Structure 1
Amino acid sequence: MDDFERYRRELTAHCYRMLGTPEDAEDLVQETYLRAWRARGDYDASRASFRTWLYRIATNACLTALRSRGRRPLPMDLAAPDEDPHGPLRPGEVPWLAPFPCDPAEEAAARGSMRLAFVASVQYLPARQRAVLLLRDVLDFPAAEVAVLLETSVAAVNSALQRARARVGRLAEHDVDATAAREVVDRYVAAFEAADVEGLSRLLARDAILEMPPVLNWLIGRAHYASFIERVYGMAGTEWRMLPVWANGQPGVAAYAAGVAHSLQVFDVRDARVARNTVWVVPELFGRFGLPERL
């Protein structure tokens, strides 16, 4: 079992990139281990390493799961931005991309492949192209090995990779100063908890994006963002506490309104400004980050 457990975290990350949700990823890793245990007598170390064998089982389990599951988007992938920050909120019925607990060190080792923007873009690829891109560009498996994993030819792997890169682009490693990004978010939190909308606005990029699964609404621009925050205070009051978390290698917060879990927020910080805030108004996510639903 030690051989199985040593790969659990990286297999979960792989399945998360394939499926877009930690819950599905964990289920698929459990399915992978069940399949591997049943087939342990068939494993041949002369043909593949134990790690490669597990990735083959996990990838095929994900491909099977994706036949009955659609991609997991974010609101800005589905609709135009809202022009009125005080307009009606529109609930979405689709399963959303979900955040993954992951600190900057783990994200750095993953070469930018856990960031929300990358995982969201991968969701647009057909399942097999998605698998090829992740196996080749994220995990650095040779084309010949990927061909064996997916039971196809090297030519087919190279063709799929070329098409995937044309749509998503090559994986770019993010050289982000995690400490500096956290400091920006800490100043944002201080302004938010003080209900200082003007101070908060100064921390936003001019084209800052705010999106809020599970509603379809999303906003772009500093003025719209700040106006919506004023609306939040009108709806939920000004008694807020925000606890720091890391998700997808990005700084985030768990936000409590009057001591009750409200939202899990993940920030994209660029040039010392908040460029994007994805706000999951899903209190059930707090448990995944080891946090209570009430303070």
Structure 2
Amino acid sequence: MNAFPAVADPFRRELVAHCYRMVGSVHDAEDLVQETYLRAWRAYDKFEQRSSVRTWLYRIATRVCLTALEGRGRRPLPTGLGGPRCDPGDDLVQPQEISWLEPFPDRDDDPATIVVGRESLRLALVAALQHLPPRQRAVLVLRDVLQWRAAEVAEALEISVAAVNSLLQRARAQLESVAPQEEQLIEQPEQRELLDRYVRAFETKNVAAIVELFTADAVWEMPPFTAWYQGRADIERHLRERCPAVPGGQRLIPISANGQPAFANYLRGPDGAFRAFNIQVLTIGPSGVSHAAVFLDTSLYAAFGLPEVL
């Protein structure tokens, strides 16, 4: 039993990413990995090493996630609720009963992304996964993200190989119907130049300059509010009429989330202190910013290792 931490701890971060793909919440994912390690520690003396420790831990984590998802609703983004785009002049609605999708913090040399690639954590993909029933979600992640063989998935989920193949076929069909098209990649120097302009425009609250960086049909959404806007004109109206910041009243700290460029945005209060305001995760292509997911839950700052006050 004393050997368990040494053999199991190297996989902790990638297991958090795995659970995050399953449940859509970095907070829940960390709790589920704790439960995974507790179960694994209790069973370690019975581990027969017929598979690798990594595979064994993923098997336990997947079952823990499936148990946790029983009776739970999915974690959407506002665009995933099925409602139409909103008018920026409408009142903002914040329903208490919805648990929203959360962003996932990236780290340098992160095994969570080195093992299977950053694209497997992209916000649009994780949002699309939430549309799948839990067992379909598990099969698709194990087969298409982790590249397990059908027989391995069948053993992990205690179902037949035929059932795995059927669930995978349905999951792929459903994912294709809800997943947005991937943006073309943009070269790093061009992306850096665009992001520098984005920061300058936000920190000076130059709304015209901000909107210029968005594509014509860009989407702006901001959980926990159900509203979402599409197109430069509506995004501009929202920023002019709803955003409480004044020129010089925001500080954007560059971070990375879900394998995408992101910012922690701090808003200056009456006392002059800059406090946590929102986390913005951007999707960028050759034509500009096509999607901004703006998370107003400031409890997420701790998950990114960020202070609540600058």
TM-score range, shorter chain: over 0.9
Alignment of 1:68-217 (within 5 A): 68-78=71-81, 79-83=83-87, 85-93=88-96, 94-103=98-107, 107=113, 109-110=116-117, 112-169=119-176, 176-177=185-186, 179=188, 180-217=190-227
1:282 aligns with one of 271, 278, 297 = 297
Change (3 A) 1:90 1:255: same
Q: How big is the shift at 1:175?
A: 6.9
Q: How big is the shift at 1:86?
A: 2.4
Pairwise CA RMSD of aligned residues?
2.0
Q: How big is the shift at 1:183?
A: 3.2
User: What is the letter of the counterpart of residue 241 of structure 2?
Assistant: R
Change (3 A) 1:113 1:39: same
Q: How big is the shift at 1:214?
A: 0.6
Query: Whole-Å Cα distance in 1 between the matches of residues 229 and 182 of structure 2?
Result: 27
Partner of 1:6, secondary structure, is helix
The alignment's TM-score, normalised by the length of structure 1, stands at 0.93
Q: How big is the shift at 1:232?
A: 3.5
Q: How big is the shift at 1:110?
A: 2.1
The Cα offsets for residues 209-229 of structure 1, whole Å up to 9 and x where unpaired, read as: 000101111100011001111
Gaps of 5+ in 2: 269-273
Query: Whole-Å Cα distance in 1 between the matches of residues 53 and 299 of structure 2?
Result: 35
Gaps of 5+ in 1: none
Change (3 A) 1:175 1:275: closer
Query: Whole-Å Cα distance in 2 between the matches of residues 115 and 4 of structure 1?
Result: 26
8 Å CA contact 1:209–1:276 kept in 2: the answer is yes
1:250 aligns with one of 257, 260, 264 = 260
Give percent identity, aligned residues only.
49
8 Å CA contact 2:107–2:256 kept in 1: the answer is yes
Partner of 1:269: 284
The alignment's TM-score, normalised by the length of structure 2, stands at 0.89
Partner of 1:124, secondary structure, is coil
Q: How big is the shift at 1:148?
A: 0.6
8 Å CA contact 1:92–1:215 kept in 2: the answer is yes
Query: Whole-Å Cα distance in 1 between the matches of residues 74 and 167 of structure 2?
Result: 18
User: What is the letter of the counterpart of residue 187 of structure 1?
Assistant: R
Aligned residues: 292
